[in-house]
A and B are shown apart, each in its own frame.
Chain A
Amino acid sequence: MFNSRWWSNSPKGATSPASKSPLPDSPKGEKLSPTHSQGGSGSAVLKEDVGKKDGRFSADRLRTLYAQLTNEPAVGDSNSAEIVAVLRNMSEILIWGDKNDPSVFECFLEKHMLANFVSILQQCGVVFTKHSGKEEAAQVPVKILKESSPITERSLFSGSSVTKTPSKRDTPVPEVLSVSAAHHVCTQVLQLLHILFENISQDTSLYFLLSNNFINQIIECSFDLSDDEILAHYVSLMKILSAKLNPHTIHFFHHEDRSRGREDRPDPDFPLFVRALGLFSFPETMVRIAARTVILNVFNVRDLDSSDRSFISSITLPQQLMRTLLDIMVKQAIKIRDFLHESGIADGFIDAGLYNQASLEEDQLTVRQKILTGWNERRKQGSALQDLIVEHMEYVQYISDLAGLRVEPLHARVRSDFEEHYILPLVLFPLRNNLDALRRTDDVFTRRRLVTEILFSLLLLNLVAINLTDISLLVSSIHADKIFTSLLDYLTVLDNREAVPQDDRFPIFVLMFFLTLSERRTQIQTDGINFDVFIAAKLLPAVVGIIHQVPVVGFTTCRVMVLRLACMWIESSVLQQPALVLDDHFLAVLLDAREQSCLSLRRFYKNDDAFIGLVELEVHLQHQLVKSPLKMERVLGHDLTAFLSLCPRRATWANSDMPGNSSDSGSRPSSAKTIAEERGFPDLYKRWPLTGDEKCRYYLRLFFLLRRLSNKMQKVSTPPGVVAVATGLPAEVVAGATAVTTTTSSSSSFDEMPAPFQSVQIGDVVDISSCDTILSCTVIPFHTHLAVRPQDKLSTLGSNSPKSRPLQLLLCPSDEEKWVKRFLIIHQWQMLFVEPDNRKLGFAVVKESFVLPSVQLLHEKEQRERIICCCAVAISTNHRTHDVNPTVGTETKMTLKSIFLQIQQQLPQQLAAAPNDAPWNMDPRYEAYARVIFDDSIRAMAASTRIRKNQERIRELKLGAINTLLDLPIGTSNQSDATDGSTNNENTPGTRVLPVPFVTSSPREKTDRVKSAGSRRAAPVVILHGSAGASSQLLSVDPSTKHRGKSGSRGPSRERPKSARSTAGMPIPLARLDTAARSGFIERVEPSSQDSHT
């Protein structure tokens, strides 16, 4: 006998990782007396036994327990609890014995205990059979029970003949054994067996356990599978057994006598396999999964001689498996198809119709509600479809796993059956026949049905291609060329204006399929067809043809996605196959398409900021997409409904296809989800452009895609587009260091646009001596309120009651402690608020920095309209009363010597913050509002002039770049060159704009400058108290701002409206609406467009 202490102290982790350090032994309790162990109290009795390891775990103890078990005449209600307790104890002893004491197991064998267990199981089985026969309740289990009941009867006898069971076992069960007690006992026996097989570590013990055909008797017992517990224990037992399969043990699982002797019985000889297969379509997921695992494990036993042959050499087993499996799969697939038919997902959700209905008098809220309901409905259906598909794909992956075992004869069977019963009827034949049928028929309903079926087949093809590890299962057959050629037809649907309703969904799916193929090109070895030749000869012309068509048919028919996929495919194929070169003809077609898209785009060209903004946005998006290329899995996994729904018919929006119609964009509600969705796959969701802006963006996308592709194909060495991100900027002065490096943007390659980069960042130290205008000022952050303008309320004379007036986005100054004193510098593209550096005279620390194009100045009139008197706010929103400008008079005075800034979110943040609930978010475009008060009105005027001037120049630059991009003649955009003395950019349109460091002068010079700057000022005293000691004085005012770097800790974010950079990635929440205001539709306050300024 092993010394248990020795064992427990043996090295852990390596051999038995689950082993743990010994518990402190506490001897207590007495020997177990099974008479006490009634139900729940059994545990208490066992607990007392814990300490007695010598007594508890030994062969003798096992013998005693077994004697108790056999002494019971039969399993009945009265003794079931007892039996359970005994069985439990026995399993513990057996596991202990397996590791510590061989005699325990010898005893187990000697007494034929396993036979006894089997007999108990069978007794329970009889009860279940009777019970279920009586009630005929269960449906699925009945099937299994019926199948196996003759076996059970027979094996009951054969079992008892093998074992040395006492004769009383043969008598019909005398005691009443209720179903619940039988459940209890049955579960316990199954758990015991489960524990035995799982924990037995010695091979010989395992062989003994498996021998004598007991294992098959156990597997074939009839169990009440309607009981969760029994079912689960049963399948996990099967799973464990299948995990123990290997060339040495697999013999035990063959039903020897039956497969040999009885020719008349068609019984299969592999009960484990048969039972597992029977559970394949069981309603419980976990059971199905376990059953599938068992089958995989069974076939994974390899022949000892050749590893690519399964030990299962019979061809009937794979045949049975595939029949069952494909039966399930085809049913599922047809369910998906029916779902597509019934749900009408493929028809798409046409909210265009709703928009048209929305006449002026109709409440927009109602329309919005309708649209949202429609969208929700569609989403629900979409997720139902997704569920169906995911479940189906589990089976496809299972097929893939089966094939991946690479064992014959299973492998060949999987290949042939999968193709014959799945691919051909569900994918190939429909694809081949339906398109012709579609072209022939005029009937609307037939068409609708055919289109849905085509889509279903295409969808299935794509999904299967993605989910198969070995794609040759799908295309390496004699049918591959048929699949390819029939797919080609679908690529031409865009050309064929008359015959087929132009439908961009077909090419999308087909292109996705070929992209998946080219991702795994190495796997394809087709016999009948040379894939490379096929690509070069047929596919390439077809794809180029599509590219040519997209700009021609335009957004009424075709999503950008089509073009993007086509471009991706051409790129990847040309890259993969050096032999495949686009010849001149194709190149010409590409360039033609590019020209076409450029022409379409020019219609939208406008000489205004909105257009520039659109171009910038698109440039940014394109760069994003180049950085993270599309993955087919992700695209398909994302939202299938987007693929499946129909593109709009041309009639709906054709009339508004004029650039001038964009004015109504504000009033037309857009679907709430589209903005959020667009972030993931912009090309997919922009299904039909509603507004002029969106149409413009559509053509911009086409243009950029084609431009990129044609550049690439022409091998023009245009560097891949790099967003001009300022890199390597920080020019922080380390304490004590003398040199001040200023910041220069190192990014030199602007692909399309001069981007509004920030060359100076917050926390940088800059030399202010070279700046000619430094204006001292006080910055008052503002936050927003959504309210009815309070002044109106006071002045109303009953005619227009407050509720009839819309809520308005109003501005409210922050508390006085949030006000900060700064110096304002306008530098090139940027507006900087600095604070003198206390360590170096003539230098300043940048506290805030904004890109000029994102800054808007508010008119005096607008200010009057939007800035609220604080007292009034206090009344309406319970805000603290401020004493800032209680009267209108002071307000006006204040207005004169101040400018009011609206800081727009910058592009990346704008996208990142694209709110899910866009319609309800007040104004996502602005992230900060601030009033900057100067010493007098002249300075205020100077500041605003300067801001506008620089903005104008930036605008000219950008317009110039756009002109070059679109090959437009160079306009008059170049007049305002060299207005700013501090910079010396060459502003020729199209040339690259490099920022020039503006702080390079010597320290000496700058001190002078500061001095002179100070003396020039009229009343700089507020902050500076004289000129020379400015820095130190300022520092004493606000020492805490020193070294604070990017995220100045100025209160909670809500109260920090002005910090563009400090919150990169985390947009500052604007003042929130109260819930009441939120719930309804809120008219978005459109900020005045910049045009009025320029």
Chain B
Amino acid sequence: MSYAYLFKYIIIGDTGVGKSCLLLQFTDKRFQPVHDLTIGVEFGARMITIAGKQIKLQIWDTAGQESFRSITRSYYRGAAGALLVYDITRRDTFEHLTNWLEDARQHSSSNMVIMLIGNKCDLESRREVKKEEGEAFAREHGMIFMEASAKTAQNVEEAFINTAKEIYDKIQEGVFDIQNEANGIKLGPEHASPGVGGGGAGARGPGSSSQSGGCC
């Protein structure tokens, strides 16, 4: 269960674009996509490996809290990555992307990695948003883009892992201040400073130290 880093993600987009299904699909492979069973969750976590390092991804769905300004803002701020999801079979969800992105950029730290995902790409026959449009939008706003399907699990893995890679690269470049828990990145127990605590409590180490830190 030990990990080198923990990345916190949020997943945003209009309701009904399949955010929670994407989430379950990625975090729990044991729930196989079945044709007449759609299960979604608001939270999931999973371990992945990047460059030989164990990295834990925690993904939080922010659905249903849009009316509370303070809550959404806090979510954005506490995340290292965001998956911005739209539904390729619903044009309006694509058109709302600008609003989502604006919000995300305004409230998040500038380092947050945002990935654009066109979900339900298995429903080719009902497609309303062309792949090229998604690509263009992503290029224009400096995001990674991918079409995925929570149903067939196509590209789901890649979507999350590519985002994590980008975050990892940024850490390597020193862009993220990993000591600051507010960035949505947490050092794993093995990285935690020895003074703060070991074993089970170690995971909390960086977090609690950042509470009192900052004034150095």
What are the residues of chain B within 8 A of A88 when measuring CB–CB? 30-31
What are the residues of chain B within 8 A of A180 when measuring CB–CB? 1
State the Cβ distance, A192 to closest chain B Cβ, in Å. Answer: 11
What are the residues of chain B within 8 A of A20 when measuring CB–CB? 18, 35, 38, 120, 122-123, 149-151
**Is A47 a contact of B69 with CB atoms below 8 Å?**
no
**Is B45 a contact of A46 with CB atoms below 8 Å?**
no
In the complex, whether B134 has a CB less than 8 A from a CB of chain A is no
What are the residues of chain A within 8 A of B28 when measuring CB–CB? 191
**Is A198 a contact of B31 with CB atoms below 8 Å?**
no
**Is A17 a contact of B73 with CB atoms below 8 Å?**
no
What are the residues of chain B within 8 A of A816 when measuring CB–CB? none
State the Cβ distance, B199 to closest chain A Cβ, in Å. Answer: 6
| Alpha-carbon separation in the docked complex, A226 to B33 (Å) | 32
| Alpha-carbon separation in the docked complex, A286 to B56 (Å) | 15
| With contact pairs A283-B211, A387-B180, A469-B69 given, residues A17 and B39 touching in the complex (Cβ less than 8 Å) | no
**Is A100 a contact of B36 with CB atoms below 8 Å?**
yes
**Is A137 a contact of B197 with CB atoms below 8 Å?**
yes
**Is B38 a contact of A198 with CB atoms below 8 Å?**
no
| With contact pairs A23-B151, A387-B182, A469-B69 given, residues A96 and B37 touching in the complex (Cβ less than 8 Å) | yes
Chain B contacts with A in 1-51, Cβ cutoff 8 A: 1, 6, 8, 15-18, 20-21, 24, 28-43, 45
**Is A232 a contact of B201 with CB atoms below 8 Å?**
no
In the complex, whether B118 has a CB less than 8 A from a CB of chain A is no
State the Cβ distance, B57 to closest chain A Cβ, in Å. Answer: 11
**Is B15 a contact of A296 with CB atoms below 8 Å?**
no
| Alpha-carbon separation in the docked complex, A96 to B182 (Å) | 39
What are the residues of chain A within 8 A of B58 when measuring CB–CB? 228, 232, 286
Tell me the total A-B contact number using a CB cutoff of 8 A. 192
| Alpha-carbon separation in the docked complex, A47 to B31 (Å) | 9
**Is B68 a contact of A18 with CB atoms below 8 Å?**
no
**Is A17 a contact of B16 with CB atoms below 8 Å?**
yes
- The one of B21, B90, B203 in contact with A226, judged by C-beta atoms closer than 8 angstroms, is B203
**Is A401 a contact of B34 with CB atoms below 8 Å?**
no
- The one of A57, A292, A388 in contact with B214, judged by C-beta atoms closer than 8 angstroms, is A388
- The one of A4, A194, A239, A388 in contact with B36, judged by C-beta atoms closer than 8 angstroms, is A4
Chain A contacts with B in 80-126, Cβ cutoff 8 A: 88, 91-92, 95-96, 99-100
**Is B60 a contact of A22 with CB atoms below 8 Å?**
no
In the complex, whether A342 has a CB less than 8 A from a CB of chain B is yes
Chain B contacts with A in 67-90, Cβ cutoff 8 A: 68-71, 73-75, 77-78, 87, 89-90
Chain A contacts with B in 382-437, Cβ cutoff 8 A: 384, 387-388, 390-391, 394-395, 397-398, 400-401
**Is A140 a contact of B204 with CB atoms below 8 Å?**
yes
**Is A283 a contact of B204 with CB atoms below 8 Å?**
yes
Mask, A14-43, CB within 8 Å of B = 1, is 001111111101000000000000000011
What are the residues of chain B within 8 A of A23 when measuring CB–CB? 33-35, 151-152
**Is B6 a contact of A285 with CB atoms below 8 Å?**
no
**Is B39 a contact of A8 with CB atoms below 8 Å?**
no
**Is B41 a contact of A195 with CB atoms below 8 Å?**
yes
**Is B200 a contact of A401 with CB atoms below 8 Å?**
no
**B1, B8, B30, B150 interface centre (most CB from chain A within 10 Å):** B30
**Is A137 a contact of B200 with CB atoms below 8 Å?**
yes
In the complex, whether A224 has a CB less than 8 A from a CB of chain B is yes
What are the residues of chain A within 8 A of B36 when measuring CB–CB? 4-5, 7-8, 22, 53, 96, 99-100
**Is B90 a contact of A13 with CB atoms below 8 Å?**
yes
| Alpha-carbon separation in the docked complex, A343 to B215 (Å) | 8
**Is A397 a contact of B70 with CB atoms below 8 Å?**
yes
**Is A289 a contact of B214 with CB atoms below 8 Å?**
no
Secondary structure dominating the interface of A: helix
**Is B90 a contact of A198 with CB atoms below 8 Å?**
no
In the complex, whether B65 has a CB less than 8 A from a CB of chain A is yes
**Is A387 a contact of B214 with CB atoms below 8 Å?**
yes
**Is A95 a contact of B204 with CB atoms below 8 Å?**
no
In the complex, whether B64 has a CB less than 8 A from a CB of chain A is yes
Q: What residue in chain A is nearest B125 (Cβ atoms)? A: A21
What are the residues of chain A within 8 A of B150 when measuring CB–CB? 18, 20
| With contact pairs A283-B211, A286-B58 given, residues A293 and B16 touching in the complex (Cβ less than 8 Å) | no
In the complex, whether B98 has a CB less than 8 A from a CB of chain A is no
**Is B201 a contact of A139 with CB atoms below 8 Å?**
yes
**B36, B56, B120, B215 interface centre (most CB from chain A within 10 Å):** B36
What are the residues of chain A within 8 A of B204 when measuring CB–CB? 138, 140, 226, 283-284
**Is B214 a contact of A384 with CB atoms below 8 Å?**
yes
- The one of B16, B75, B151, B197 in contact with A13, judged by C-beta atoms closer than 8 angstroms, is B16
**Is A18 a contact of B33 with CB atoms below 8 Å?**
no
- The one of A8, A53, A137, A398 in contact with B201, judged by C-beta atoms closer than 8 angstroms, is A137
In the complex, whether A199 has a CB less than 8 A from a CB of chain B is yes
Interface size bucket, A side?
A: 35 or more
Q: What residue in chain A is nearest B200 (Cβ atoms)? A: A226
In the complex, whether A229 has a CB less than 8 A from a CB of chain B is yes
**Is B201 a contact of A198 with CB atoms below 8 Å?**
no
What are the residues of chain B within 8 A of A8 when measuring CB–CB? 35-36
**B8, B15, B29, B215 interface centre (most CB from chain A within 10 Å):** B215
Q: What residue in chain A is nearest B33 (Cβ atoms)? A: A23
| Alpha-carbon separation in the docked complex, A22 to B152 (Å) | 10
| Alpha-carbon separation in the docked complex, A591 to B180 (Å) | 52
In the complex, whether A227 has a CB less than 8 A from a CB of chain B is yes
**B8, B65, B152 interface centre (most CB from chain A within 10 Å):** B65
In the complex, whether B181 has a CB less than 8 A from a CB of chain A is yes
**Is A18 a contact of B38 with CB atoms below 8 Å?**
yes
State the Cβ distance, B110 to closest chain A Cβ, in Å. Answer: 11
What are the residues of chain A within 8 A of B197 when measuring CB–CB? 137
| With contact pairs A43-B29, A137-B197, A140-B204 given, residues A194 and B41 touching in the complex (Cβ less than 8 Å) | yes
**Is A199 a contact of B39 with CB atoms below 8 Å?**
yes
| Alpha-carbon separation in the docked complex, A601 to B202 (Å) | 64
**A53, A286, A292, A469 interface centre (most CB from chain B within 10 Å):** A286
**Is A138 a contact of B6 with CB atoms below 8 Å?**
no
What are the residues of chain A within 8 A of B77 when measuring CB–CB? 285, 390, 394
What are the residues of chain A within 8 A of B8 when measuring CB–CB? 285-286
Chain B contacts with A in 117-159, Cβ cutoff 8 A: 120, 122-123, 149-152
**Is B203 a contact of A228 with CB atoms below 8 Å?**
yes
**Is B69 a contact of A401 with CB atoms below 8 Å?**
yes
What are the residues of chain A within 8 A of B201 when measuring CB–CB? 137-139, 226
In the complex, whether A243 has a CB less than 8 A from a CB of chain B is yes
- The one of A18, A296, A342 in contact with B21, judged by C-beta atoms closer than 8 angstroms, is A18
**Is A398 a contact of B70 with CB atoms below 8 Å?**
yes
State the Cβ distance, A224 to closest chain B Cβ, in Å. Answer: 7
What are the residues of chain A within 8 A of B34 when measuring CB–CB? 23, 50, 53, 92
| Alpha-carbon separation in the docked complex, A657 to B216 (Å) | 38
Mask, B185-216, CB within 8 Å of A = 1, is 00000000000010111011001101100111
What are the residues of chain B within 8 A of A397 when measuring CB–CB? 69-70, 73
| With contact pairs A384-B214, A401-B70 given, residues A57 and B37 touching in the complex (Cβ less than 8 Å) | yes
- The one of B15, B151, B207 in contact with A284, judged by C-beta atoms closer than 8 angstroms, is B207
**Is A289 a contact of B182 with CB atoms below 8 Å?**
no
Mask, A459-471, CB within 8 Å of B = 1, is 0000000000100
**Is B56 a contact of A92 with CB atoms below 8 Å?**
no
Mask, B100-121, CB within 8 Å of A = 1, is 0000000000000000000010
| Alpha-carbon separation in the docked complex, A401 to B69 (Å) | 7
Q: What are 5 A-B residue pairs whose CB atoms fall within 8 Å in the complex?
A: A18-B40, A92-B39, A227-B203, A232-B58, A401-B69
Additional A-B contacts beyond A92-B34, A195-B39, A292-B70 (13; CB < 8 A): A4-B35, A21-B122, A43-B32, A53-B36, A96-B36, A137-B199, A139-B208, A180-B1, A194-B43, A286-B75, A289-B71, A296-B71, A395-B70
* A positions within 8 Å CB-CB of B: 4-5, 7-8, 13, 16-23, 25, 42-43, 46-47, 50, 53, 57, 88, 91-92, 95-96, 99-100, 135, 137-140, 180, 191, 194-195, 198-199, 224, 226-229, 232-233, 236, 239-240, 243, 283-286, 288-289, 292-293, 296, 335, 338-339, 342-343, 384, 387-388, 390-391, 394-395, 397-398, 400-401, 469
In order of increasing CB-CB distance, the 6 nearest A-B pairs are: A17-B16, A397-B70, A236-B43, A283-B207, A22-B35, A285-B78
